[in-house]
Structure 1
């Protein structure tokens, strides 16, 4: 009886896991390819004091092509995974290119995008050199 219950439990777990995940839809072809003839945002590096780990941290900040210090903008924070740093999203993610293309197509409202170094330890690198 125990092997049968175990088999049923494993089958239920496998089936519920498969059907509980969302289907990921691919982006539009070329959405992450730089285009000429459109306005481009700007990426700057800033530093800030992290009270959590008591050290100075860096972050990349993308501002949209139409950015003005006089306006308020929503913010989007792109957080890296384990072992990453503030530049992780630029290594293949190309958020600045995608955003520039979306602005040019009028598909999104202007926003500030922050890519911080979210490492939870005081050393800024995952593997100190």
Structure 2
């Protein structure tokens, strides 16, 4: 079965409700400093409602801004909501490089830097998910939590998601790289 995205799925459309995407900082006890993530909240967001959460991971050369900069998730999500094709959810754009200087600099395949992709599992489970669950109205059970990613993030999604089926009911990998 072939799936073809509809024309204009990622194009800005005027006069539809918009979600909000912003950068947050959370304390990473795993890394030992504050880390950043981007959080998308859907149109017509209400603190009276609990939402499912998708953690969306980037490829090896990216960071928490990669999807936002190159994939326009806020536009795609807004369009899907406007067409009633998506359940309202919170989407968290993470940085899968769990180290004090988590920018994609230098030799990305250095053995020490490869270890930080593995360390991200602890950062996500012990630090980021609890931060999101305590700062946003989430449905914090596994049936309402997903993890997905591209390339390196796809590999991380498989490794983390399938190792934590008590935390994630939904796991997606796009061109998953064999990594951690």
Q: Is 1:25 aligned to residue 7 of structure 2?
A: no
**Separation in 1 of the partners of 2:94 and 2:47?**
20
Q: Offset at 1:24? A: 6.4
**Residue-by-residue CA offset, 1:87-120 (whole Å, 9 max, x unaligned):** 0001221111011001000111100000012213
The whole-number CA distance in structure 2 between the counterparts of 1:118 and 1:51 is 15
Rg comparison, structure with higher value: 1
Find out whether 1:91 has 2:69 as its counterpart: yes
Q: Do the aligned partners of residues 57 and 36 (structure 1) sit closer, same or farther apart at CA in structure 2, a change above 3 Å counting?
A: same
**2:31 equivalent to 1:62:** no
TM-score, L = length of structure 2: 0.55
Aligned length: 106
Structure 2, unaligned runs of 5 or more: 107-180
Unmatched runs of 5 consecutive residues or more in structure 1: 1-22
Task: Compare the two structures and name the one with the higher helix fraction.
Answer: 2
Deviations 1:42-97 (A, max 9, x none): 01111001222212111110000110112100001110111211100012211110
After TM superposition, the score normalised by the length of structure 1 is: 0.76
SS in 1 for 2:100: coil
Comparing both chains, which one has the higher relative contact order based on Cα–Cα distances under 8 Å and sequence gaps of 6 or more?
1
CA distance in 2, matches of 1:95, 1:24: 22
Q: CA RMSD in A?
A: 1.5
